[in-house]
Amino acid sequence: MRLISFVFLLLISFFSIAAYGLNSPNELLPNAQQEKRAEQIGAQLRCLVCQNESIEDSNAELAKDLRKVVRQHIQAGESDKQIIQWMVDRYGNFIRLSPPFNFTTALLWLMPFLAFIIGCLSAFTTFRKMQKEPLPLNENEKKRLEKLMKES
Amino acid sequence: MISNFLSPELGHFTLALACCLAGAQFILPLLGNQKNDFHLMNLAAPLAWGHFFSLMIAFVCLIIAALNDDFSVQNILQNSATDKPLLYKITGIWGNHEGSILLWSFILSFFGILFSSFSHRLSFSLRTKIIAILGGCATGFEIFCLITSNPFLRIWPAPMEGQGMNPLLQDPGLAFHPPILYTGYVGFSVPFAFAVAGLMEKNIDSAWGCWLRPWVILAWIFLTAGITIGSWWSYYVLGWGGYWFWDPVENAALIPWLTGTALLHSTLIVEKREALKTWTVFLSIITFSLALCGTFLVRSGILNSVHAFASDPTRGIFILVLLIIICGGALVLFAWQAPLLPFTALFAPFSREGSIILNNILFCSLATIIFVGTLYPSVLQMINGQTISVGKPFFDKTFVPPALITIFFMAFAPWLAFKKTSLKKLIQPLSFMGIITLVIIIISFIYLHRFLPALATGLAFWVIMGALTDFSSKLSLFKTSFKNNFHRMKNLSLSFYATYIAHIGVAVILLGIIGMAYSQQKIVEVPIGTTLHLAGYEWTLEAVQNHKGPNYLATEAILKINYHHKTICWMFPARHFFPRQQQVITNVAIHTNLIADLYAVLGDSKNINDTSPTYILKLHYNPLAPWIWIGGFIMILGGFLTLIDLYNHKIIKQNSKQNMEQPL
| Residues of B in Cβ contact (< 8 Å) with A111 | 368-369, 372-373, 398
Q: Does any domain span residue B318?
A: no
Separation of alpha carbons B8 and B60, rounded Å: 10
Pairing of strands B583-587, B520-527: unpaired
Q: List pLDDT tens digits, range B190-247.
A: 999 999 999 998 888 888 999 999 999 999 999 999 999 989 988 888 766 678 888 8
- Neighbour-count burial for A76-106, b at 16+ CB within 10 Å, e otherwise: eeeeeeebbeebeeeeebbbbbbbeeeebbe
Cβ atoms B218, B239 nearer than 8 A: no
Instruction: Please name the residue of chain B whose CA is at the shortest distance from the CA of residue A102.
Output: B388
The C-alpha of A49 sits at a distance from chain B's nearest C-alpha, in angstroms, of 12
Q: What is the pLDDT of residue B81?
A: 86
Radius of gyration of chain B, Cα coordinates, nearest whole angstrom: 27
| Mean pLDDT score of chain B | 88
- Closest Cα to residue B580, out of B73, B90, B163? B163
> Across the interface, do A7 and B308 touch by the CB < 8 Å criterion?
yes
Q: Does any domain span residue B327?
A: no
| Residues of A in Cβ contact (< 8 Å) with B344 | 130
> Across the interface, do A111 and B398 touch by the CB < 8 Å criterion?
yes
Counting Cβ atoms within 10 Å, is residue B566 exposed (0-12), middle (13-18) or buried (19+)? exposed
Mean pLDDT, residues A22-28: 70
> Across the interface, do B618 and A20 touch by the CB < 8 Å criterion?
yes
Q: What is the pLDDT of residue B663?
A: 47
> Across the interface, do B96 and A7 touch by the CB < 8 Å criterion?
yes
Mean pLDDT, residues B533-551: 90
Mean pLDDT, residues B43-66: 95
| Residues of B in Cβ contact (< 8 Å) with A19 | 238-240, 586, 601
Q: Does any domain span residue B635?
A: yes
Residues B359, B257 within the same domain = yes
Q: Is A49 helix (H, G, I), strand (E, B) or coil?
A: coil
Please give the single-letter amino acid code of residue B247. Answer: D
A-contacting residues in B 84-113 (Cβ below 8 Å): 95-97, 100
**DSSP letter at B121?**
T
Q: How confident is the model at residue B313 (pLDDT cuts 50, 70, 90)?
A: low
- Domains of chain A, start order: 13-95 (1.10.8.640), 106-151 (no CATH)
Instruction: Write phi, then psi, for B38 (nearest 5 degrees).
Output: -60, -40
Q: What is the pLDDT of residue B161?
A: 85
Separation of alpha carbons B500 and B495, rounded Å: 9
Residues B69, B215 within the same domain = no
> Across the interface, do A123 and B361 touch by the CB < 8 Å criterion?
yes
Residue A14 sits at the chain B interface (C-beta within 8 Å): yes
| Residues of A in Cβ contact (< 8 Å) with B277 | none
Q: What is the pLDDT of residue B640?
A: 95
Residues B125, B247 within the same domain = no
Q: What is the pLDDT of residue B158?
A: 86
| Residues of A in Cβ contact (< 8 Å) with B360 | 119
Cβ atoms B565, B592 nearer than 8 A: no
> Across the interface, do A17 and B369 touch by the CB < 8 Å criterion?
no
Instruction: Write phi, then psi, for B601 (nearest 5 degrees).
Output: -125, 135
> Across the interface, do A14 and B253 touch by the CB < 8 Å criterion?
yes
What residues have CB less than 8 Å from A66, skipping those under 6 apart?
A: A42, A45, A47, A55, A87
Q: Residue B457: which domain range?
A: 422-517+627-661
Residue B305 or residue B492, greater confidence: B492
Residue B603 sits at the chain A interface (C-beta within 8 Å): yes
Q: How confident is the model at residue B459 (pLDDT cuts 50, 70, 90)?
A: very high
The share of chain B scoring above pLDDT 70, in percent, equals: 95
| Residues of B in Cβ contact (< 8 Å) with A44 | 393
Residue A124 sits at the chain B interface (C-beta within 8 Å): no
Residue B133 or residue A141, greater confidence: B133
B345-to-B270, B277, B456, B521 alpha-carbon distances in Å: 10, 10, 37, 56
Separation of alpha carbons A123 and A116, rounded Å: 11
Q: List pLDDT tens digits, range B418-433.
A: 888 888 888 888 999 9
Pairing of strands B531-534, B574-578: unpaired
Please give the single-letter amino acid code of residue A86. Answer: W
Residue A25 sits at the chain B interface (C-beta within 8 Å): yes
Residues B648, B616 within the same domain = no
Please give the single-letter amino acid code of residue B344. Answer: T
Cβ atoms B365, A115 nearer than 8 A: yes
- Which of B88-92, B285-289, B317-321, B531-535 ranks highest by mean pLDDT? B285-289
> Across the interface, do B391 and A16 touch by the CB < 8 Å criterion?
no
Separation of alpha carbons B598 and B535, rounded Å: 10
Q: What is the pLDDT of residue A5?
A: 42
> Across the interface, do B524 and A25 touch by the CB < 8 Å criterion?
yes
Separation of alpha carbons B79 and B63, rounded Å: 13
Separation of alpha carbons B241 and B622, rounded Å: 8
Residue A82 sits at the chain B interface (C-beta within 8 Å): no
Q: Does any domain span residue B336?
A: no
Counting Cβ atoms within 10 Å, is residue B348 exposed (0-12), middle (13-18) or buried (19+)? middle
Domain CATH code at residue B546: 2.60.98
Q: What is the pLDDT of residue B202?
A: 86
> Across the interface, do B240 and A93 touch by the CB < 8 Å criterion?
no
| Residues of A in Cβ contact (< 8 Å) with B241 | 20
Residues B299, B199 within the same domain = yes
Q: What is the pLDDT of residue B240?
A: 66
| Residues of A in Cβ contact (< 8 Å) with B603 | 23-24
Separation of alpha carbons A115 and A122, rounded Å: 11
Q: Does any domain span residue B328?
A: no
- Closest Cα to residue B511, out of B407, B397, B624? B624
Instruction: Please name the residue of chain B whose CA is at the shortest distance from the CA of residue A98.
Output: B394
Separation of alpha carbons B225 and B634, rounded Å: 10
Q: Does any domain span residue B342?
A: no
Q: Which of B408, B430, B461 is the last residue of a domain?
A: B408
The C-alpha of B401 sits at a distance from chain A's nearest C-alpha, in angstroms, of 10
Q: Is B243 helix (H, G, I), strand (E, B) or coil?
A: coil
Residue B386 sits at the chain A interface (C-beta within 8 Å): yes
Cβ atoms B69, B121 nearer than 8 A: no
Q: Which of B170, B187, B217 is the last residue of a domain?
A: B170
> Across the interface, do B238 and A130 touch by the CB < 8 Å criterion?
no
Q: Is B10 helix (H, G, I), strand (E, B) or coil?
A: helix
When scoring A41, A88, A108, A128 by the number of chain B Cβ atoms within 10 A, the one with the most, hence best to mutate, is A108
Q: Which of B170, B192, B219 is the last residue of a domain?
A: B170
B243-to-A14, A123, B15 alpha-carbon distances in Å: 11, 35, 37
> Across the interface, do A14 and B250 touch by the CB < 8 Å criterion?
yes
Q: List pLDDT tens digits, range B484-538.
A: 888 888 888 888 899 999 999 999 999 999 999 888 888 888 888 889 999 889 9
Separation of alpha carbons B570 and B73, rounded Å: 44
Q: How confident is the model at residue A9 (pLDDT cuts 50, 70, 90)?
A: very low
Residues B512, B525 within the same domain = no
Residues B193, B295 within the same domain = yes
Q: What is the pLDDT of residue B419?
A: 83
State pTM to two decimals. Answer: 0.91
Least confident of A10-24, A35-49, B10-24, B398-412: A10-24
Residue B239 or residue A107, greater confidence: A107
Whether A147 shows a pLDDT value over 60: the answer reads yes
Instruction: Please name the residue of chain B whose CA is at the shortest distance from the CA of residue A27.
Output: B523
Residues B499, B557 within the same domain = no
Q: How confident is the model at residue B385 (pLDDT cuts 50, 70, 90)?
A: confident
Residue B301 sits at the chain A interface (C-beta within 8 Å): yes
Separation of alpha carbons B203 and B31, rounded Å: 19
Residues B222, B293 within the same domain = yes
Instruction: Write phi, then psi, for B620 (nearest 5 degrees).
Output: -125, 145
Residues B366, B234 within the same domain = yes
Residue B532 sits at the chain A interface (C-beta within 8 Å): no
Whether B443 shows a pLDDT value over 50: the answer reads yes
Instruction: Please name the residue of chain A whose CA is at the shortest distance from the CA of residue B384.
Output: A104
CB count, 10 Å around CB of B213? 20
> Across the interface, do B247 and A17 touch by the CB < 8 Å criterion?
yes
Q: Per DSSP, what are the bridge partners of residue A46?
A: A54
Residues B2, B149 within the same domain = yes
Whether B322 shows a pLDDT value over 50: the answer reads yes
Cβ atoms A54, A44 nearer than 8 A: yes
Residues B99, B237 within the same domain = no
**DSSP letter at B166?**
-
| Residues of A in Cβ contact (< 8 Å) with B240 | 19-20, 57
Residue A32 sits at the chain B interface (C-beta within 8 Å): no
Q: Which of B248, B361, B525 sits opposite A52 (nearest CB)?
A: B248
> Across the interface, do B304 and A10 touch by the CB < 8 Å criterion?
yes
Q: Does any domain span residue B332?
A: no
Cβ atoms B391, A97 nearer than 8 A: yes
Residue A76 sits at the chain B interface (C-beta within 8 Å): no
B135-to-B138, B149, B189, B217, B483 alpha-carbon distances in Å: 5, 20, 10, 21, 54
Q: Is B190 helix (H, G, I), strand (E, B) or coil?
A: helix
Q: How confident is the model at residue B434 (pLDDT cuts 50, 70, 90)?
A: very high
Torsion of CA B225, B227, B233, B235, to 10 degrees: -120
Domain count along chain B? 4
DSSP letter string, A95-138: GBSS---STTTHHHHHHHHHHHHHHHHHHHHHHHHHHSPPPPP-
Q: Does any domain span residue B331?
A: no
Q: Is B592 helix (H, G, I), strand (E, B) or coil?
A: strand
When scoring B165, B245, B295, B353 by the number of chain A Cβ atoms within 10 A, the one with the most, hence best to mutate, is B245
The C-alpha of A93 sits at a distance from chain B's nearest C-alpha, in angstroms, of 6
Q: What is the pLDDT of residue B659?
A: 59
